[in-house]
Amino acid sequence: MKFVTPLGLLALLGIAVLILIYLLKPNYQQKFVSSTFVWNLSLKYKKKSIPISKLRNLLIILCQILIIATGAFILGQPFISASDTQKAEKIVIIDASASMLAIQANGKTRFENAVLEVKKFGQEVMEQQELITVILAGKEADYVKTSDYNIFRTDSDLLEKYNAALDGLIAPNNTACTYGQADIDGAMTLAEEVILENPNIEIILYTATEYVDTGKVVIKNISDSEWNAAILECNPIKKDNYYIFEVEVASYNKNMDLTVNLQVDGVNLEEKSLNAQEIARCLDNNTVVITFDEGIYAYQNVQVYIQADDSFIYDNSFYLYGGTKETINVLYVSPLRNNFFSGILMGLHDMLRQRWNIVIKEVSLEDNPDLSGYDFYIFEHEMPRTLPNDGIVLLVNLNNIPQNLGLGFGGRVTNRDREEDDFVLANGMSHPIMANVNAANIIVSQYMPVLSYNGFQPLMYCGTDPVFLVKNEPNEKIAVLSFSLNRSNLPVIVEFPVLMYNLFDYFLPPTITKYVYDVNESVNLNARGPSLSINGPGLDETFNIFPHKISASVWGTYTLTQMPISGIEISEDIYVRITRAESEFVRTESLYPPFIPEPPSIDWDLVLYFAAALVAFWFFERLLHLKGDQ
Amino acid sequence: MKSLINDEFFSRLETLALNFRSDLSGFFGGKHRTRSYGQTVEFSDFREYMFGDDIRRIDWNLYSRFEKYFLRLFTDERQMHAQFFLDCSASMGKPNPQKAAYAIGIAAALGFLSIHNMDKVSFKLIKKDTAEDMSGTIVGKNTFFKSIRDLENIEFKDEADIEKAVTNCPNPGFNDGLTVIISDFFTQSNWKKAVDFLTFKKRQVMLIQVLTPEEIEPTYSDRMHLIDHESEDVADPKNMKIKITRSLQMAYREALKDYNQELKSFCASRGADFISVNCERDFEKMLFEELMRTGIMV
């Protein structure tokens, strides 16, 4: 208990005064009366006094002393401060980012040394009867825990569990320290849970990263003399159809000449490799960009590496994949080849150049083409007897019905040769193929109504008759347009290229959008086949539902394998790298500490309680007086 | 001490008179009718003629009817002697002069009524165990008013023994009037013997108790060292140290009530009158109400 105005306690002297009054006060006050005759008589009438009266007098004196004491306390404005009632607490956040894996002089990683320091610190905190919370800021911040216990507001009673939990962090094969970035913000959010319970806390962050001092978090920088030579970035830049490899390197905390090696496999679609080497002079923690221009227009994979005896080895090499585009063979079969299809296919060829190498072949059935080995078939007017089953098939204006199509058609419906009687189409069910396609813009003068379409999804209607249907099964990927482009305005409106692009994008989606990802970065996976397998460091999974999101928590090369409708297995590699920021040993980051409310100057104002006590004592004293007077 | 008696007050009293018992004999020459037969014109009774009777008083009309001699008897008017024993102890005057003034006023008022009705009056001051005759027997208003001035200068002090003062009184009288004892009766002396003595002397007796409000309803409380005004010093056993609580105050009231009841009962048993008056009360109201209620004053 503390006092706002301790001078008020001087009123306690009143107790001394009271005692003095009791000592000096004459026991009996003199009173002159005419006669004591009746008083003498009255004594016979007086009830026998109870011996408790002496105790009562004592209680009265006690009450009076207490009244003065409580009055003095009220003047002193007593309060109990938060620090008196709530133990001081420590919140320790351990940075478990990749940079904490740097090896220090004692042969241990920064992370291991940080954990040991925290363990020792926690024991000291508990000895002082304070509470400690330990948060591990890994991929997602969480309390350090054992199988059955979180280090959350732990006191000395749980010292053994505390030690066990921290020992577990640095046990062999433990992956507590990530290859990605630390979720410091999440750790601060978790710290708020403790702050809600007790604002009397101190947050200590064990890290090797420099943070802007906010004054609210104590930064324990455990970095020593570690240095890091790193490949920060490697970009294949296509210039004049040839790749130029730009490699950004740096050496932090040490000036040196770095030898940057480039190894390219599968150079220019041939089974040969290429090696190159450049020296990068890395000074004052600045980055250096090295360019390799080796006349490469295609490659299978590229490895860039440096040889350095630095503290952090995970960024000493870098891999590039996707140097060779996959070929998509398109067969356009039509007895009356129209330029609209040719034009749109050429447009797609250019549009998807970064993704595919689209090869277009235009034939007529009369040429007896080989109806296999293509990824995309377009049949117009004249249909094959049986549909190919190794690729996507688009059927337009079917003059005859393939045997294995599975659709039932009615007779052609034609307008009465008057333009105002043309049919306007309408959208069917919502579908990715119909994205940005407004069927109401499409007018046809003749079509074949589809009467039965088991397994197909109708996407466009003419009246109540489906005229555009899609089927997407693992072994059947078919789209049917039951009207002629020649009897429609579709080829001359924007819906046609959009529809064709959507068909390609829907049936031939890119597996990945890029070939280099950061650790813990989200990877969107798509597949042309029913399943996709991913295999890499610590990850071996197969997915059947797409699109699918994953994130790799370990750096390295991951292989994506799928079996498209063509039956030819496709493999692609991606490289998951250490986040560039983790390689930058000298970076300074911002810190967003949680809001720590100032402990109120008076947590519990006791004036009211003392006032209540004073009233109670006064009431009790009066009661005793009243009883004494009776 | 503020005097309660003055000329206006006496003039208002002139219409009143003391009502003495009729069996008192008194003295010749007064205004009080008694049972004895006298020479007034007011017929009272007949009786047979006896030898030696004044033949002038024979009722001849009755003789003509009964052929016997009957005398006509007339009521007699006598002079009474009113004695006022005034307690002059310290308790009557020291603590509250109003009490003393009240007591003197009562004595003076009743004395005036007696004088006004041609009675004799004696003021006897009870000091310690004697009754000091202040002015002797007073007859006539001039003497009375002189003695009233002396009465107002009485000094109230020491104790008063009512019993001894009354019983040792050299001239208490016999069947000749009224004796009024004015006191607070807060005394250890046996006042009952004094009443018995006066009753024995066939005096009409009246006890008037004069009390102050504080004596009726003490307001002081807590630890008190009560100093009796009649005590000789602080160590006097009359003085007492008590803690006056509410219950004791209640006991006081009860004791006083019982004591007064005892006074009243005893007086009633002896044919005496008793009234207790509060000196805070308006004097004239008290006089006209209380005394007239007892019948002593008509």
Q: Do A630 and B223 touch (CB under 8 A)?
A: no
* Chain A residues near residue B90 by CB distance under 8 angstroms: 34
For residue B243, give the chain A residue with the closest CA.
A28
Chain B residues closer than 8 Å to A30 by CB: 224-225, 227
Domain shared by A12 and A104, yes or no? no
Judged against a pLDDT cut of 60, whether residue A57 lies above it is answered with yes
Boundary residue ending a domain (A321, A342, A370): A321
Do the Cβ atoms of B71 and B46 come closer than 8 Å?
yes
Q: Is B239 on the interface with A (CB under 8 A)?
A: yes
Nearest to B186 among A29, A38, A628 (CB): A38
Average pLDDT over residues A272-280: 94
Query: Do A448 and A373 have their domain in common?
Result: yes
The 10 Å CB-count burial string (b at 16+, else e) for B143-171 is: ebbebbeebeebebbebbbbbbbbbebee
Same domain, A432 and A479: yes
Residue type for position B166: V
- For residue B220, list chain A residues with Cβ-Cβ distance below 8 A: 31
Residue B120, φ and ψ in degrees, nearest 5:
-95, 150
Distance from CA of B223 to the nearest CA of A (A): 5
Say how many CA atoms lie within 13 Å of B295 toward its Cβ: 8
Residue B42, token pair as written in the block: 């007011």
Phi, psi of A288 (to 5 degrees): -125, 135
Nearest CA of chain B to the CA of A627: how many Å?
9
Last residue of a domain, one of A321, A345, A367: A321
CB contact under 8 A, A36 and B247: no
Task: Say if A607 falls within a structural domain.
Answer: no
Q: Does B186 touch chain A (CB under 8 A)?
A: yes
Selection from B207, B209, B211, B188 nearest residue B198 by Cα: B207
Q: Which segments of chain B have a pLDDT < 70?
A: 1-4, 21-36, 38, 41, 95
Q: Cβ separation of B245 and A630 shorter than 8 Å?
A: yes
Looking up residue A317, the CATH number of its domain turns out to be: 2.60.40
Asked whether residue A581 is domain-assigned, the answer is no
The answer to whether the CB of A152 falls within 8 A of the CB of A194 is yes
Pair (A522, A550) in one structural domain: yes
Instruction: Find the closest chain B residue to A626 by CA distance.
Output: B246
Query: Residue A28 pLDDT > 90, yes or no?
Result: no
* Structure tokens given for B187: 């005394």
In angstroms, the CA A306 to CA A288 distance is 13
Residue A74 sits in the same domain as residue A22:
yes
Per this entry, what is the length of chain B? Answer: 298
Q: Could A41 and B259 be called an inter-chain contact, meaning their C-beta atoms sit closer than 8 Å?
A: yes
Tell me, what's the ipTM?
Answer: 0.84
pLDDT of residue A417: 58
For residues A482-503, average pLDDT: 94
Over range A90-95, report the average pLDDT.
Answer: 94
Domain check: are A372 and A396 in the same one?
yes
Cross-chain residue pair B248–A44, CB shorter than 8 Å: no
Residues 85-114 of B with CB under 8 A from A: 90-92, 94-96, 99
Residue of A nearest to B92 (CA): A34
Alpha-carbon Rg for chain B in angstroms = 23
Looking at the fold, whether A60 and A123 belong to one and the same domain comes out as no
pLDDT band, very low/low/confident/very high, at A517 (cuts 50, 70, 90):
very high
Q: Is the pLDDT at A289 greater than 70, yes or no?
A: yes
DSSP sequence for B84-136: EEEE-SHHHHSS-HHHHHHHHHHHHHHHHHHHHTT-EEEEEEEEBTEEEESS-
Q: Is residue B238 less than 8 Å (CB to CB) from chain A?
A: yes
Please give, rounded to a whole number of angstroms, the shortest distance from the CA of B283 to a CA of chain A: 21
Domain co-membership, A370 together with A503 = yes
Could you tell me if A462 and A564 lie in one domain? no
Q: What is the DSSP letter of B59?
A: -
The one-letter code for the residue type at A584 is: E
Query: Is A103 a domain residue?
Result: yes
Q: Which of A29, A38, A49 to mutate to test the interface with B (most CBs of B within 10 A)?
A: A38
Q: What is the mean pLDDT of chain A?
A: 89
Q: Count how many domains chain A has.
A: 5
Residues A97 and A152 in one domain: yes
d(CA A77, CA A3) in angstroms, rounded, equals 5
C-beta of residue A559 within 8 angstroms of C-beta of residue A534:
yes
* Distance to chain A for B202, nearest Cα, Å: 30
Would A457 be classed as within a structural domain?
A: yes
Helix, coil or strand: residue A227: coil
What does the pLDDT look like over A537-594, one tens digit per residue?
A: 989 999 999 899 999 999 999 999 999 988 889 999 999 999 999 999 998 999 998 8
CA gap A107, A119 in Å, rounded: 19
Name the token pair of B190.
């046996």
Task: Tell whether B292 lies on the interface with A, counting CB pairs under 8 A.
Answer: no
For residue B168, give both structure tokens. 């040792």
Domain match, A218 and A309 both: no
Torsion region of B202: left, alpha or beta (phi above 0 gives left; psi -120 to 50 gives alpha)? left
- Examine residue A605 and state whether it is found in any structural domain, yes or no: no
Segment A437-455, tens digit of pLDDT: 999 999 999 999 999 998 9
A61-96 residues labelled b (16+ CB within 10 A) or e (exposed): eebbbbbbbbbbbbbbbbbebbeeebeebbbbbbbb
Structure token digits, residue A134:
């330990």
Contact indicator for A90, A132 with CB cutoff of 8 Å? yes
pLDDT higher than threshold 90 for residue A110 = yes
Whether A489 is in a domain gets the answer yes
Among A204-218, A614-628, B72-86, B141-155, top mean pLDDT goes to A204-218
| CATH number where A170 lies | 3.40.50.410
Q: Is residue A588 part of a domain?
A: no
- CB-based contact B225 A47, cutoff 8 Å: no
| Interface touch B184/A34, C-beta < 8 Å | yes
Of A31, A44, A628, the CB nearest to B224: A31
Strand ranges (E), A486-545: 516-518, 522-525, 532-536, 539-543
Cβ–Cβ pairs < 8 A, chains A and B: 103
For residue B135, the distance in angstroms to the closest alpha carbon of chain A comes to 27
CB spacing of B255 vs A30 below 8 angstroms: no
Give the distance from residue A606's alpha carbon to the nearest chain B alpha carbon, in angstroms. 36
Reported pTM: 0.59
Q: What range does the domain containing A309 cover? A: 228-321
Please judge whether B255 and A44 are an interchain contact, meaning their C-beta atoms are less than 8 angstroms apart: yes
Say whether residue B232 is in contact with chain A using an 8 A CB cutoff. no
CB contact under 8 A, B228 and A35: yes
Q: Give percent helix, percent strand, percent coil of chain A, each to the nearest 5.
A: 30, 35, 35
Domain boundary among A321, A356, A391: A321
Long-range residue pairs from A398-404, CB within 8 A, at least 24 positions apart, any chain? A398/A448, A398/A480, A398/A482
Query: A35 and B91 in contact by Cβ < 8 A?
Result: yes
Q: Is the Cα dihedral B87, B90, B93, B99 positive or negative? A: negative
Residue B243 or residue A508, greater confidence:
A508
Q: Mean pLDDT score of chain B, rounded to an integer?
A: 85
A56 or A307: whose pLDDT is higher?
A307
Please, which residues bridge with residue A357 across strands?
Answer: A327
Residues of A in contact with B247 (CB under 8 A): 46-47, 629-630
Rounded distance, CA A91 to CA A122, Å?
10
pLDDT score recorded for residue A467: 94
Closest in B223, B227, B248 to A42, CB measured: B248
Residues of A in contact with B218 (CB under 8 A): 33
The yes-or-no verdict on residue A155 having pLDDT over 90 is no
Measured CA to CA, the distance from residue B295 to residue B291 in angstroms comes to 6
Flag if A34 and B240 touch (Cβ within 8 Å). Answer: no
The Cα of B228 is separated from the nearest Cα of chain A by a number of Å equal to 5
Distances A92 to A116, A117, A128, A146 between C-alpha atoms, Å: 12, 11, 16, 17
Claim to verify: residue A266 and residue A293 sit in the same structural domain: yes
Give the whole-angstrom CA distance, residue A245 versus residue A235.
6
In whole angstroms, what is the distance from residue A68 CA to residue A614 CA? 8
Buried b / exposed e along A307-324 (16+ C-beta atoms within 10 A)? ebebbbbbbbbbbbbbbe
Structural domains of chain B in order of their starting residue, each with its CATH number: 7-20+80-210+276-294 (3.40.50.410), 27-78 (no CATH)
Q: Mutate which of A29, A35, A40, A627 to disrupt the B interface (most B C-beta within 10 Å)? A: A35
Angle at A96 between CA A94 and CA A98, to 5 degrees: 150
**What is the DSSP secondary-structure string of A261-281?**
EEEEESGGGSS-EEEEEEEEE
Res A570: pLDDT: 92
The CATH number for A398's domain is: 3.40.50.880
Residue A238 falls within a domain, yes or no?
Answer: yes
Name residue, tokens 């069917």.
Answer: A428
- Flag whether pLDDT at A162 surpasses 60: yes
Q: Which residues of A touch B224 (CB under 8 A)?
A: 28-31
